[in-house]
Amino acid sequence: MATLGARRALAFEGLDFQALRSRLRAIKETALERNDELLDRLVEVVEQGGGHVKVAATAEEASDYVARLAVERGVRLVVKSKSMVSEEVHLNAALEAVGVEVIETDLGERIIQLAGERPSHLIVPAVHKTKVEVIDLFAETMGLDDPPTEAEDLTRLVRDDLRERFLQADMGVTGANFVVAETGTVVVVENEGNVRLTTQLPPIHVAVTGREKILERPEDVAPFLELLPRSATGQLLTSYVSFITGTPSTPPLDLGRETGATVREREFHLVIVDNGRGAAASDPELRETLYCIRCGACLNVCAPYTRVGGHVYGADPYPGGIGCAWAQVTGDVEGAAHINGLCTTCSRCTEVCPVMIDIPWLNTVIRARTKDATGMRWRDRVFARADLLGDVLSPISALANPLIACRALRAPSRLLDIDPERRLPRYERETLEAWFHRRGRARVPRPERRVALFVDCFVNHNLPEVGRAAVTTLERAGAEVVLAHTSCCGRPAMSQGSLDVARGWAANNVEELGRLVAEGYDIICVEPSCLSALRDDYRRLLETTSLACDERIAFLEANVYDVTEYLVLAAREGWSRLHLEPLVEEFVVHGHCHQKALGIGAAPAELLRLIPGAVVHEVEALCCGMVGSFGYKAEYSELSQALGARLFERLNDHEGQVVACGISCRSQIEMGTERTVVHPVEVLARALF
């Protein structure tokens, strides 16, 4: 995973990723809006060219068509290139049930087939296998006493075995990365050459693909070929890109097939699979799933996936967070519900998706639908109301905190399926709002800016000292500060699938914050997850067609900032009045997932570098593993700590003060490293003079 990520980063150097992904998104949106029309055109063009088209409503209908075709043509041996849709419709099982031998010709898929497993990744299906496991597998399945041990020799072993299969096969089956309606062209990208052999040597070629892969024109394919290989394998282009239009004009080579096939003429069959896609296209909340181009980039940055793999974090056959959405689309509601909780909604996947799919939102919707059908657990109801918890526990913090800290008194945690070993957050009697009210609004002479601090539940009740530092630092920078009297941002409720509650809060906040923005205030968030809700999620939550509401949300999105981002911008723009004393110290910074997803991951470290004498180390890890309530839940706590272990090791490589912006990151790091963690504005406040 780390290798794929590094290669991807190199491949995108010098490329305008945002512009290209916007273009890809627009092409997919247009193609899906016209999907019925394009499908009809595709069928007409392929059949005019002598091909056959089957539009299969279900997975069973698709696999039955190919199996019947094989029986009718006397096919005994099928060679097959990598195809996730064929996995989805269980094509291999259908062919084997009628006595047809199926051989996977992609190296990774062949390993998986010999092991009797399903793929664990969208593009590298055997990524979970070690070299030793592959050697042992080949030795066992190929009857080898002395199997090769070098990668090149292992590959040659499989290649030699597969060449005979290609020469003997009567049918070749492929998937399709794209299908062009205007010309009937099937586009397939690959690195091994097996697609070329699969489509050209056997007399019958069957392409099986989903209807969402249809594009209108050949030129629509070009921008996808720029981003797909870069996102998938870190290549500028794959080794082979095949544009296959209709039935080959050359007669098939008779290489002495002895399988009894009755057909010796070329045939081309295109199987277009619906299997829930048509319904999803009409579902405004799940429609985005159909934009997926199966690059796998989302898996490579998904912290839970990289730890447990696709056989745990996956439904059949699609792994990861996007796999949960595909399970829901294709009717595997139980499979989607089973893995849904593994999506931490950190948004790192959205950051790298070449078609801008908001996978966390898809999984949030699925979570809400699941809980609407099955009911919500008491634990999740509690986690959804962080605001109410604070209102209840802050006034009685002197009593509540000793009880929270006492392991012997954590029986309620067990009853709620909360890990009793977790350190629950302390509550402060004087909240940030109470402190601000007691202190009163500070007078800032000739303020450079006016800001309204969004008071989130956690800073208000659990870490008011961070809020106080933010207020003080903003005022000293030259901003007049008020508190925005708002509802909870909605993120806790969203994470538990309580969307109705979150929508109500979002509507209230858009109204209140919009009023403040109209009065000339910039909105400042201290907790990055709240910023993510305001800047990314409200448009989704409110699902409005009202132009006026859309404009208010856009107005808010353009004027809401993370506190570290805002202070860095103040320094860059030259209006900040901060005077900072030297702090000759080392600071070790962990970036919050939501900051990175919003493109401001560098802001905390950049802010600390404004302090004279400060030595700043940025530590990169996919995720701390805590992610709000995820790490508190008994069923995920062990995984959460395992995810954090990588970060803990990297933090402990450096001396100095650990710095992190999120309260959940803070809790996780303090538990995993036994080191104190502070917010960047707390450090900045210390340096003020």
pLDDT given at position 243: 97
What is d(CA 305, CA 124) in angstroms, rounded to the nearest whole number?
14
Pair 625, 639: CB distance under 8 Å: yes
User: Do 105 and 165 touch, CB atoms closer than 8 A?
Assistant: yes
The band of 414, judged by pLDDT with boundaries at 50, 70 and 90, is: low
pLDDT band at 688 (very low <50, low <70, confident <90, very high): very high
Please report which residue ranges of 519-616 form alpha helices under DSSP H: 528-532, 538-542, 547-557, 563-573, 593-597, 603-608
What does the alpha-carbon distance between residue 303 and residue 283 come to, in Å, rounded to a whole number?
29
Q: Is the pLDDT of residue 271 over 90?
A: yes
Q: Tell me, which fold does domain 34-275 have in CATH?
A: Rossmann fold (3.40.50)
Please give the pLDDT value at position 547. Answer: 59
Q: Is the pLDDT of residue 203 over 60?
A: yes
pLDDT, position 386: 94
Least confident of 66-70, 262-266, 591-595: 262-266
The tens digit of pLDDT for each residue in 523-576 reads 999 999 999 999 999 999 997 556 557 888 999 999 999 999 999 999 999 999
Which secondary-structure segment (H or E) carries 308? helix 303-308
Query: 1: pLDDT confidence band, cut at 50, 70 and 90?
Result: confident
Label residues 267-295 b or e (16+ Cβ within 10 Å = b).
bbbbbbbbbbbbebbebebbbbbbbbbbb
Indicate the range of 241-250, 256-265, 481-490 predicted with least confidence: 256-265
Average pLDDT, integer, range 661-668: 94
pLDDT at 261 over 60: no
pLDDT above 70 coverage of the chain, percent: 97
pLDDT at site 544: 58
Q: What is the pLDDT of residues 323-369, one digit of tens each?
A: 999 999 999 999 999 999 999 999 999 999 999 999 999 999 999 99
- DSSP labels for 38-61? HHHHHHHHHHHTT-EEEEESSHHH
**Tokens matching residue 331:** 């009717």
Q: Averaged over 483-497, what is the pLDDT?
A: 95
For the chain, the average pLDDT equals 94
* Average pLDDT score over residue span 137-145: 94
Residue type, 384: A
**What is the arithmetic mean of pLDDT over 16-40?**
97
Place of tokens 């995720």: 623
How many whole angstroms separate alpha carbon 367 and alpha carbon 496? 7
pLDDT for res 416: 78
pLDDT at 632: 94
> What is residue 654's predicted lDDT score, i.e. its pLDDT?
96
CA–CA dist 339, 336 (Å, integer): 6
Decide the pairing of beta strands 101-104 and 586-590: unpaired
Q: Is the pLDDT of residue 256 over 70?
A: no
How far apart, in whole angstroms, are the C-alpha atoms of residue 532 and residue 562?
Answer: 9
Tell me the CATH class for 579-686. alpha beta
Please give the Cα distance from 662 to 643 (Å, whole number): 16
The string of DSSP letters for 629-671 reads TGGGBHHHHHHHHHHHHHHHHHHTTS-SEEEES-HHHHHHHHH
d(CA 567, CA 470): 10
The pLDDT assigned to 4 comes to 85
Confidence of residue 492 (pLDDT cuts 50, 70, 90): very high
% the chain with pLDDT above 90: 90
- pLDDT at position 408, please? 66
Give 212-221 pLDDT, tens digit per residue. 999 999 999 9
Encoding tokens for residue 505?
């809060």
Q: Inform me whether the pLDDT recorded for 445 exceeds 90.
A: yes
Domain with CATH 3.40.50.10420 in the chain: 34-275
What is the DSSP pairing of strand 185-190 with strand 240-245? antiparallel
**Which structure tokens are listed for 236?**
């500028």
